[in-house]
Amino acid sequence: MILGEYKNSRFLYKIIQLIVVTFFAIIFMTLLTTLLTDSDLKNINTVKQMQLIQSLCLFVGVPFLMAYFWSESPLHFLQLKTKAKFSNYLLVAITMIVAIPFINLLTDLNRQIALPEALAPVENWMKATEAQLEALTLSILNVNTIKDLIINLMLVAVLAGLGEELFFRGIIQKVLNEKQNTIIAIWLAAFIFSTIHLQFYGFFPRLLLGAFFGYLLAWSNNLWLPILAHTLNNALGVVFYYLSFNGVKMPNMDTIGTGNTIYLGVISAILTAFCIVKLQRELKIKSTLINS
């Protein structure tokens, strides 16, 4: 197949191509999982193997395959060749750290949302699903060796951050932007990103995070910035749970900014907004200079 053979496809055809390739990637992923693992979800090593296969086949493989179909320069298409200043990466990292109490506050508010009584069965299903996913996440993150910590950082932080940004921002947001304006494309991609995680009581914080990642890409034309933000967000959780599980006394990272420390959530929101405005100004100035 010729590089960039389908680059002139119309929007609808690109969506169909993406759905078809994703469908076959899921089938391939399922076959690999069946062949290479025992499919026992109670075995944490099996779960990690399944997550690795999913990340490589679906979130990394599909974007690169679509970029191969749609461009003669796949890396440029995925916006992986654009450079950014070290100060931009540093400010993104600071923003993610500063935002932790604000994200916790949003999560706490999200958890308080109750559905009407008529939708009680749906709400019960959502709570059960959330509890199962939370238990599975904790079983993955609660490890007691440096080796397992490094594996979790690579799997949950680096590979997930890279793969999900390639898929949701590098492909989905980019394709949507061909038909919709940038803002609508960012929020649609963020909505899909949050929905697909099936963690309903963290839906709105994840939606805002996805939108932030999308704006980073739109302002910089550099996918490495949202990849860094996403990876760091996941890595902080991995390290916190490792330290906490191994007896290191420290504040609960998930509750800072809620309850008696709600004032930290408000301060965090203000500081996060300041960092985002500064990022927007710096990245837009650079983008203007590059395009002029």
Span of 140-144, 173-177, 182-186, 270-274 with lowest mean pLDDT: 140-144
C-alpha 113/C-alpha 229 separation (Å) is: 27
Assign residue 70 a region: left if phi > 0, alpha if psi is -120 to 50, beta otherwise? alpha
- The ranges assigned to domains in the chain are 1-77, 82-291
C-alpha 201/C-alpha 114 separation (Å) is: 10
How confident is the model over 124-180, as pLDDT tens digits? 888 888 888 888 888 888 899 999 999 999 999 999 999 999 999 999 999 999 988
CA-wise closest residue to 75 among 235, 224, 274 = 224
pLDDT score for 266: 97
Instruction: Provide the 8-state DSSP code for 119.
Output: G
Span of 6-15, 67-76, 221-230, 242-251 with lowest mean pLDDT: 242-251
Confidence category of residue 93, pLDDT binned at 50, 70, 90? very high
pLDDT score for 247: 86
Residue 51: C-alpha distances to residues 20, 24, 191, 224 (Å): 21, 17, 22, 22
Question: Does residue 291 surpass a pLDDT of 50?
Answer: no
Question: Does residue 62 surpass a pLDDT of 80?
Answer: yes
pLDDT score for 41: 73
What share of the chain has pLDDT > 90, as a percent? 72
Residue 74: C-alpha distances to residues 63, 222, 251 (Å): 9, 14, 44
Whole-prediction pTM:
0.92
Question: Does residue 257 surpass a pLDDT of 80?
Answer: yes
- Locate 57 and state its tokens: 């086949």
Question: Does residue 285 surpass a pLDDT of 70?
Answer: no
Question: Does residue 40 surpass a pLDDT of 80?
Answer: no
Average pLDDT value over all residues in the chain? 91
- Locate 255 and state its tokens: 């509750």
pLDDT score for 289: 45
At 242, which helix (H) or strand (E)? helix 224-245
Question: Does residue 80 surpass a pLDDT of 80?
Answer: yes
Question: Does residue 288 surpass a pLDDT of 80?
Answer: no
Question: Does residue 111 surpass a pLDDT of 80?
Answer: yes
